[in-house]
């Protein structure tokens, strides 16, 4: 099973991880449930065991009047519905506020700051301290940053920036801010998508008649205005020489 059978569903596969994303409109869950049953049947036909106990369901619903959706049942076992789940190292909350992800990133980064302090005490060269920071701490802070950073609250951004400030004091050398790291990676990702006509997001980048600026996506919700594509387009419009 590699593709979905309904246009409102998306099947995402990575190694032994499979995620089904369904858009439910008007309370009609038929397509979403059919997709799940098709996945279950495909696993059975190909002698694959689907671990229901490790399967989780998250409902993202921003409507004022929320309706109760029936739980998914796989092989007679009810799938647990959770407020957040971890997918490929990123924690996704049902309200897309990224609080769980920020907490986990902060926890990992602070643990590695301890080793940076130890290396500083043994008088490791500054160049090596910077290299250690970039490999073990900056890599944690920037993992999938183009996805979650723009939707984080100012408080969450300040908490993560505090890690960089602490590392900067330990090393005694200036380090790029979290905002600068986000801008760099966001631009790099956007340019790669713009060059790849097969990427699903390629069609989002539309040029204005001048051919020098990209069209900004319009949305009534703050979450969509803060999405990767809108932020990437805004950055590219201010860095036209990098496009």
For the segment 83-95, the average pLDDT, to the nearest whole number, is: 89
pLDDT digits (tens, 9 = 90+) for 139-175: 999 999 998 998 888 999 999 999 999 999 999 999 9
Whole-structure pTM value: 0.79
Between the ranges 70-74, 84-88, 135-139, where is the mean pLDDT highest?
Answer: 135-139
Cβ contact 170:116 at 8 Å: yes
Give the rounded percent of residues in the chain with a pLDDT score beyond 90. 34
Write 168-175 long-range contacts (CB < 8 A, 24+).
Answer: 170/113, 170/116, 170/117, 170/120, 170/129, 171/116, 171/120, 171/126, 171/129, 171/130, 171/133, 172/126, 173/126, 173/129, 173/130, 175/130, 175/133, 175/138
pLDDT score of 2: 61
pLDDT score of 221: 46
168 compared with 47, residue with greater pLDDT: 168
In this structure, what are the phi and psi dihedrals at residue 120, rounded to the nearest 5 degrees?
-70, -35
What DSSP designation does 204 have? G
139 closest CA partner among 163, 119, 122 = 163
3-state secondary structure 29-62: CHHHHHHHHHHHHHHHHCCCCCCHHHCEECCCCC
pLDDT digits (tens, 9 = 90+) for 111-121: 999 999 999 99
3-state secondary structure of 176: coil
pLDDT score of 222: 47
142 closest CA partner among 95, 201, 184 = 184
Question: Rounded CA gap, 89 and 222, in Å?
Answer: 25
- Tokens 């809108």 appear where? 230
């Amino acid at each position: 099973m590699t593709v979905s059978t309904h246009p409102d569903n998306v099947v995402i596969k990575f190694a032994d991880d499979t995620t089904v994303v369904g858009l439910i409109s008007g309370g009609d869950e038929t397509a979403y449930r059919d997709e799940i049953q098709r996945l279950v049947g495909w696993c059975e036909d190909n002698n694959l065991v689907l671990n229901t106990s490790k399967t989780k369901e998250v409902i993202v619903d921003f409507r004022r009047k929320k309706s109760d959706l029936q739980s998914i049942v796989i092989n007679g076992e009810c799938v647990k519905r959770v407020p957040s789940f971890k997918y490929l190292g990123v924690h996704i909350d049902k309200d897309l506020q990224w609080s769980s992800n920020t907490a986990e990133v902060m926890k990992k980064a602070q643990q590695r700051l301890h080793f940076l302090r130890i290396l500083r005490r043994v008088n490791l060269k500054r160049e090596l301290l910077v290299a250690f920071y970039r490999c073990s701490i900056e890599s944690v802070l920037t993992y999938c940053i183009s996805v979650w950073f723009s939707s984080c609250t100012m408080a969450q951004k300040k908490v993560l920036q505090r890690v960089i400030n602490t590392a900067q004091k330990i090393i005694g050398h200036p380090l790029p801010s979290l905002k600068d790291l986000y801008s760099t990676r966001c631009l790099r990702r956007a340019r790669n998508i713009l060059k790849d006509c097969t990427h699903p997001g390629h069609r989002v980048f539309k040029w204005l008649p001048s051919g020098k600026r990209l069209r900004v996506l319009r949305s009534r919700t703050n979450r969509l205005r803060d999405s990767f594509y809108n932020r990437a387009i805004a950055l590219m419009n201010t860095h036209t020489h990098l496009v």
